[in-house]
Structure formats: C-alpha cells, structure tokens
Amino acid sequence: MPKVTEEYKQQKRNLILDCAMECFAVNGYQESTIDDIVAKSGMSKGAVYNYFKSKDDIYLTLLDRNTEKTFDYLSKGFDNFTTATEKIKHMLKIYFQITYKEDDLWLGKQRVHLEFWINASQNEELRKAMEEHAEKFITFLEKMIDEGKANGEFRQDIDSRITSEAFWALNDGVRLHLLVAKEKFPFSKVYEHIDRLYMNFLKGITT
C-alpha cells in the first residue's frame, strides 16, 4: 500500500473544509449534517472522521484557517507604511474588501459565522474557542493603536483594548444588519462613515 503523504492528507482536509463551508452556507450550520458533508465531498464517513471528530471540530478548523488567511491579507503592504494611521486605514480598506461581496454564498458564510457565535454561547468549550479567535483580532488592532499613542498620532486618554473591542463589535453589528437588510443596507456608505468616525476618534478630532 502506497504511503499517504502529508500533502495528500492536507488536500483531503481542505476538501472536507471547503465542502463543509458550502453546506453550512447553503443549509445553515444547525441544519447541516456530517452526512451532507460526506455526500458533498465524495468521501466515506469513516474517512471524514479520520480527519475531524465532529461538525464543531470542522467549523473551528475552518475558523482557524480563515483567520490565518485574513491576517495574511490584512498585513499585506504593512511594510510600506511608517505610521499607525496608515496601517489602520489600510486595515479598514482591506477588511472592507474581504467583508463585502454581493453574492448569496458570501452572505451564507456570514450567516454561518453569526449562527455559530450564538450556538457557542450555549457551549462552554465552543465559547472559549470563539473567545480565543476574537482575541487575535482584538490584539491585532490594539497593538496598532498602542503604536499610534506612543508616537503621538493618537490621543493619550483612550484605552487601546476597549477601542479595539469597540471596532470589532461595531463591525459584527454592521454584518448583522447587512444579512437582514441585504441590498437595502448601504454597506459601502456605512463603512465610509465608520472609517472616518473611528479615525477621528483616535485622533481626537470632533468636527
């Protein structure tokens, strides 16, 4: 029997993850089953369980993979910037690009994320995993705010962590409104306002 390589196993993991995400996006997280993922992937149920122990395990792995991709994308171009202001404005621009797409599959993926947050609130193990996920985003922005305070770009009286948490909470709220209102929600204009209001707050600009 030929040796199974790590590359082969990673390809299979990614196949399962991609198929699972499509099932979750189309059917919803709660309604999707391992059998749905098995059917979509063309693999046997036993083979799927060789890679993942449960549906929750699949989603948490998806979350880790997407988080890594997001940070790679957000960090692109950072070496070209010398100020915290430039970095945060770049982050806001890039995050807007990866957050908003006008298609049903994308909306389904956003719905799954919020659905899983709600589900995790009733499961201590999942809740801790989601907290760890959120912490990565909070810390990412918090460090840039600290940098801006240290070099005099931003006001000194703000709490960097709370200010970071406020942005991500606001962002989740925007996505929720988009899911409900869909094309009626002025996403681009709202994000422009968020950009301006947030940067003005950091700099202490009141006009």
Say whether pLDDT at 104 is over 80: no
Say whether pLDDT at 107 is over 80: no
Lowest mean pLDDT among 8-22, 99-113, 144-158, 185-199: 99-113
Q: Residues 105, 22: contact at Cβ < 8 Å?
A: yes
pLDDT band, residue 102 (cuts 50/70/90): low
Lowest mean pLDDT among 16-30, 43-57, 172-186: 172-186
From CA 194, how far away is CA 178, in angstroms rounded? 15
Q: Is 166 exposed, middle or buried (0-12, 13-18, 19+ CB in 10 A)?
A: middle
CATH 1.10.357.10 for the 54-203 domain, yes or no: yes
pLDDT band, residue 120 (cuts 50/70/90): confident
CATH superfamily name and code, 1-52: Homeodomain-like (1.10.10.60)
Q: Is 107 exposed, middle or buried (0-12, 13-18, 19+ CB in 10 A)?
A: middle
* Residues in the chain, overall count: 207
Lowest mean pLDDT among 41-55, 105-119, 155-169, 181-195: 105-119
From CA 36, how far away is CA 24, in angstroms rounded? 10
Domain ranges of the chain: 1-52, 54-203
Mean pLDDT of 190-205: 91
Q: What is the percentage of the chain residues whose pLDDT exceeds 90?
A: 45
From CA 203, how far away is CA 196, in angstroms rounded? 11
From CA 198, how far away is CA 202, in angstroms rounded? 6
Query: According to DSSP H, which parts of 76-186 are helical?
Result: 84-99, 104-120, 124-150, 160-181
User: What pLDDT, in 10s, does the model give residues 56-91?
Assistant: 999 889 888 888 888 887 777 787 888 999 999 988
Backbone phi, psi, residue 193, to 5°: -65, -40
- Indicate the pTM of the whole model: 0.84
Say whether pLDDT at 28 is over 90: no
From CA 115, how far away is CA 21, in angstroms rounded? 13
From CA 115, how far away is CA 25, in angstroms rounded? 11
